[in-house]
Amino acid sequence: MEAGERPDDDAADVGPLGASIRAIEQAAGSLATASVARMDEVLPWFRELPADQRAWVMLVAQAGVRSLVEWLRRREGDDGGPQAVSDEVFEAAPRALARSINLQQTVQLVKITIEVAEEQVPHLAAAGEEAAIQDAILRFSREIAFAAARVYARAAETRGAWDTRLQALLVDALLRGDSSDVVASRAAALGWGDASPVAVAVGRSPGGEATMVLHTVYRTARRIGVDILGGVHGDRLVVVLAGAPDPLAATRQLLVGFGDGPVVVGPAVPSLDEATESARAALAGYRAAPAWPAAPRPVSAGDLLPERALAGDAEARRILRQDVYGVLVRAGGELLDTLDAFFTAGSVLESAARALFVHPNTVRYRLRRIGEVTGFTPLVARDAFTLRIALTVGRLDPSAVPPAPPTGG
């Protein structure tokens, strides 16, 4: 239809605005073309889209004009109330378009399409119907914006649910000890940056929908500037932290996302490829944590070595045997004899000195030396318990302890 040409009376059966609606329907293609041309003119980001995505926008624009026509035809509805726009207007383009164009950009596209349609109202509306058509287009633009928001909300919900499943699979791979290739591929699918260091925290889930549980943890993690991945496994919440210089302190700030009970943090490792080690330690510590009711929250898996060893954790037994008992063996007999005498004397320094026929200051020096070489101070009750378990584990399997280096010339 040429500019200024008025629709004829053949459309009278369409309704009060039948002639104008027929004209808009016939001009759908030219309106969509003009809209896309305007987008190309005023939106720099639109000009940078690949050709296929620009073609999808054209399809959506054409579908939008057709939807406007249908909306005008049923705008009064059976009950005279307002009519909502169907989300099907966006079905003309694949769902991938929602991943390429964000909601704000979509609103810009809708705004331009509506502006172009409004500019054409004087040429398309029948005499006396210009104001009614313009008002209808304004109300339609509001409804189409709501429809776009619904589409993006559903896409975000689907994407969130998919990300939650991917994260659960990644966490499951860490807990099972899958190969680093499996872990890396799943992390790549999530866009994981793998900042260093990486540590795993395990605690009780507060219950409820897994997505909401993780949302609470993510919100806190963003506030403190830590990257995380999370998964709910049964009644456990497992969180992988990256980029936190002190994972224990970072987990302390994430406690709001955990349920009651112990929260155990595994050792920090350089990258996600090695996070299986941290996950194993955290999980073993979580199982053994009830044996230490007074444990801090959160607690390091390394602080639970004696409970883990008693619960059957082979790695904890190896650390106690080689890194504690073995260190004392390699340091020479004096430190080991002094520790035995100290424990036998009920941790009374003077009694241990009499049993060893040495001055109490000598015992005090040797105990301090034990703390330096093992990291556990016998005069501290908790450290003394760890040392006792280390002596027991080491003596149960002395063949696994590296021999002391030869002395003398």
Q: What is the CATH number assigned to the segment(s) 314-400?
A: 1.10.10.2840
pLDDT (tens digit per residue) in 52-93 = 887 877 777 777 777 777 777 776 444 444 455 545 555 545
| pLDDT at residue 98 greater than cutoff 70 | no
pLDDT category of residue 17 using cuts at 50, 70 and 90: confident
Put the strands of the sheet holding 236-242 in their side by side order: 227-233, 236-242, 198-204, 263-265, 299-300
Give the mean pLDDT of the chain: 79
pLDDT for the residue 209: 81
For the domain with range 177-301, which CATH number is right: 3.40.190.10, 3.30.70.2730, 3.40.50.300, 3.90.650.10? 3.30.70.2730
Q: Model confidence at 395, in pLDDT bands (50, 70, 90)?
A: very high
Contact predicate 220/257, CB 8 Å:
yes
Residue-level pLDDT at 178: 61
- What confidence score (pLDDT) does residue 20 get? 79
Lowest mean pLDDT across 87-96, 217-226, 369-378, 391-400: 87-96
Give burial (CB, 10 Å; 0-12/13-18/19+) of 99. Answer: exposed
Better pLDDT: 306 or 125: 306
- How far is the C-alpha of 189 from the C-alpha of 182, rounded, in Å? 11
Q: Which of 237, 213, 217 is nearest to 227 (CA)?
A: 217
Euclidean distance between CA atoms 369 and 342, whole angstroms = 14
Nearest to residue 231, comparing CAs of 314, 149, 189, 173? 173
Every domain of the chain and the residues it spans: 9-153, 177-301, 314-400
